[in-house]
Amino acid sequence: MSGGRVGLVAGIACAAAVVAGPFLPPWALFLVTIALGKGLVVLGLMLFLRAGLVSFGQALFYCLGAYAGGGIGRFFGISDIFLVLAAGGLVGGLVGWLLGFLLARYRAIFFGLLSLAMSMILYGVLVKNEALGSTDGFNVLHSTFLGWRPSNEWVRYATLLVALGTCAAAALLVERLLRTPLGRLLPALKDNEIRVEYMGASARRAIHVIYVVAAVLAGIGGALVGATVGHIDPEMAFWTMSGEFIFIAILAGTGSVLAPFLGAIVFGAIHTVAFDLSPNTWQMSLGIALLLVIVFLPEGVWSLFTRRRGA
């Protein structure tokens, strides 16, 4: 899908949400906003998947972003949604940049396991940290929008609009990144890294760059989810959270920068419906869905669209 089409589809989706938003029930707005936040994290994972890497610890940056966004409210009283998202992205990116020096040297299962260790370190720190509420976490301030403080009815809609704008911008930027020489390098890395090095490109540098980009995206996503839910806790860094992101990434496939958002919405829908129908077996439904995707749709749900067009 070309950059123009990504913009077009994203624009239509945004316009549809802007028009339909006020008429939708608050829980639907809530679910879509959460899905968009998780979609941002998965957009970063998609970059990894293109390079043949899987991170089992992306919850690290998700949680960092949420705590950074919630933290500026808790300690400085800042509740502006744009500053909250910026804080999440900034802290995520900074930690990602530092960790990237180490992680960019790792491949295959070891990349996954080391990132898992990193996210569990954060989890271990947070559950024992009294100042940050230890296992209970803490509540996030009611969001404000450039000084405007919407009522409880409108805050969901306003947050959704900000989320849509952020996600559309992120999708377009990542789409551009994929068109740069560095972006083109990613499938080559997956294919054969040593050849890439022989051609004079640096695999480590490319992976470091996408590592930082993914960290920024996950940080913003975490801050967004934290602000939407109104509460954050250390579970956001636990390995099951990273598992959920990989789940969505596999569900979505790497076919397009919009796939992660579609995947996150499909995931949210399966989760909500399964939980509603049978609270004790929703995990089973998710597990079966994941197995079906692995076996029958190895390129993810997005391939349903591209395959039909190709036929």
Residues forming beta bridges with residue 149, ordered by sequence position: none
Tell me the site size for other proteins, rule CB under 8 A. 42
- Cα separation, 258 vs 300, in Å, equals 12
Q: DSSP states of 98-121 as a string?
A: HHHHHHTT--HHHHHHHHHHHHHH
Q: How many CB atoms lie within 10 A of CB 285?
A: 16
**Which sign, positive or negative, has the C-alpha torsion 269, 302, 244, 153?**
negative
Tell me the CB-side half-sphere exposure of residue 5, using CA atoms within 13 A: 5
> Could you tell me the smallest distance in angstroms from the CB atom of residue 132 to other proteins?
13
110 binding other proteins? (CB under 8 A): yes
Which span sits near other proteins by CB under 8 A: 8-16, 89-97, 109-117, 219-227?
A: 109-117
Q: At what angle do helices 282-296 and 239-252 cross, to 10 degrees?
A: 40
Which span sits near other proteins by CB under 8 A: 21-29, 62-70, 86-94, 121-129?
A: 121-129
18 binding other proteins? (CB under 8 A): no
240 binding other proteins? (CB under 8 A): yes
Out of 149, 184, 195, 307, name the contact with other proteins by CB under 8 A. 195
| 3 state DSSP class of 37 | helix
> Could you tell me the smallest distance in angstroms from the CB atom of residue 279 to other proteins?
10
116 binding other proteins? (CB under 8 A): yes
Residues forming beta bridges with residue 80, ordered by sequence position: 144
Which tokens sit at 289? 């869905």
Nearer to other proteins, 8 or 294 (CB): 294
Which span sits near other proteins by CB under 8 A: 8-16, 78-86, 144-152, 237-245?
A: 237-245
Which span sits near other proteins by CB under 8 A: 14-22, 90-98, 258-266, 280-288?
A: 280-288
- Cα separation, 120 vs 135, in Å, equals 14
User: Which stretches of the chain bind other proteins, using CB under 8 A?
Assistant: 54, 102, 105-106, 108-110, 112-114, 116-118, 120-121, 123-125, 127-128, 192, 194-195, 239-240, 243, 246-247, 250, 280-284, 286-288, 290-291, 294-295, 298
